[in-house]
Structure 1
Amino acid sequence: MKSLLFRLAGIFSAEIGSELYLKLKEETHSPSLFCLDFTEVSEVTEVGWEFLRKMAERCKETGSKVAGFGLKTQISEEARSQMSFFQEESECILFLESFYLGEAPANEQIPTPSAEGKTIHCPECQTLLRFKQMGDHLCPKCQTKFFVNLKGWVSTYERLL
């Protein structure tokens, strides 16, 4: 499962909202977790709220989850019912982790006995892959290197050009 943190700044309007929505849409081929950091956002316009509503709907359709934190403006009840907002980053991350993964933190290092393995999607080409243990992995199709933790969260490595 992929998890992404988006740090936003300025006025959350049509421009930022549309770019973020397109990125979110691109990343929701498989269930993912999206955490939105609003601490540097000074205002959310009416069109910005509409894009947040569309993001929440897209996540609901694909089995993904989106939540935000650090928003300094008032949140309407309608917006609050569509998407969860928190004061602190840690609260938001804990909420997202618990939604899919239960009580333990995502970076838990205790091995679990699993004979059959689990399935994940390659973060680059979305190929369904089976893995038996956490650690570094290589996609046989696109040769992308990534790390899988005990919970099945996928972290990609940045490429230096």
Structure 2
Amino acid sequence: MKSLLFRLAGTFSAEIGSELYLKLKEETLSPSLFCLDFSEVEEVTEVGWEFLRKITERCKETGSKVAGFGWKGSLTENLPLGFHFFPTESECIHYLESQILSETPANELTPKSEEKTVHCPECQSLLRWKLAGDYLCPQCKTKFFVNKKGWVSTYERLL
């Protein structure tokens, strides 16, 4: 499960709200955790509250979780149902992590049989992989290693 922290600043209005919504929509193709930092937000407009409602609904639909922290103003009746605000970042993160129902670490929640993708470290071709191990890029013939978390390590070449 992916987790992302978004640090917001200024006025949370249509511009920031729509940009954030599009980014979260892109990231919620699989369940994710989203922590929104409002500590530098001066104002949330009516349209901003509407985008928070849309973000909360999108997260519910996809099994993702979203919460915020650091809002210095008073929380109004505009607060979307299911959206939680916390005074500190650590409380927000603790809440989001408590929403993971499995004992498996967040970066290992993908089913073992699911096929995953990585980019070749040399030519950036998109390649599929199932298990950790050594791989050879069919395009550029670069050898590399993929660990169980999907991290790619290249091998040094001796000249």
TM beyond 0.5? yes
Q: What's 2:6 paired with?
A: 6
Task: Call closer, same or farther: CA 1:41–1:73 in 2, change over 3 Å.
Answer: same
The alignment status of 1:51 with 2:65, answered yes or no, reads no
Task: Call closer, same or farther: CA 1:45–1:5 in 2, change over 3 Å.
Answer: same
Q: Identify which of structures 1 and 2 has the higher relative contact order when contacts are C-alpha pairs closer than 8 Å and 6+ apart.
A: 1
> Given that residues 56 and 83 in structure 1 are in contact (C-alpha distance below 8 angstroms), is that contact kept between their aligned partners in structure 2?
yes
- Paired with 1:106 and 1:65, the residues of 2 have a C-alpha distance of 13
Q: What's 1:151 paired with?
A: none
- Paired with 1:155 and 1:3, the residues of 2 have a C-alpha distance of 16
Q: What's 1:92 paired with?
A: 92
Secondary structure of 1:82 counterpart: coil
- Structure 2, unaligned stretches of length 5 or more? 120-126, 138-143, 153-159
TM-score, with structure 1 as normaliser: 0.66
Across the two proteins, how many residue pairs are aligned to each other? 134
Match of 1:84, as an amino acid? H
Match of 1:7, as an amino acid? R
- Structure 1, unaligned stretches of length 5 or more? 108-115, 149-153, 157-161
Identity of aligned residues (%): 60
TM-score, with structure 2 as normaliser: 0.67
Match of 2:35, as an amino acid? C
Residue pairs, 1:1-161, within 5 angstroms? 1-77=1-77, 79=79, 81-101=81-101, 117=112, 148=149
Q: How far off its partner does 1:21 sit?
A: 0.3
- Paired with 1:3 and 1:137, the residues of 2 have a C-alpha distance of 27
**Max radius of gyration: which structure?**
2
Q: How far off its partner does 1:130 sit?
A: 5.5
Match of 1:13, as an amino acid? S
Secondary structure of 2:85 counterpart: strand
Secondary structure of 2:100 counterpart: helix
Task: Call closer, same or farther: CA 1:106–1:43 in 2, change over 3 Å.
Answer: same
- Paired with 2:37 and 2:151, the residues of 1 have a C-alpha distance of 19
- For each residue in 1:97-154, what CA deviation from the matched residue of structure 2 results, as whole angstroms up to 9, or x when unmatched? 11014689869xxxxxxxx947586599xx997568xxx999x9xx9x7883xxxxx8
Q: How far off its partner does 1:39 sit?
A: 0.5
Give me the CA root mean square deviation: 3.7
Task: Call closer, same or farther: CA 1:104–1:27 in 2, change over 3 Å.
Answer: closer
Secondary structure of 1:6 counterpart: strand
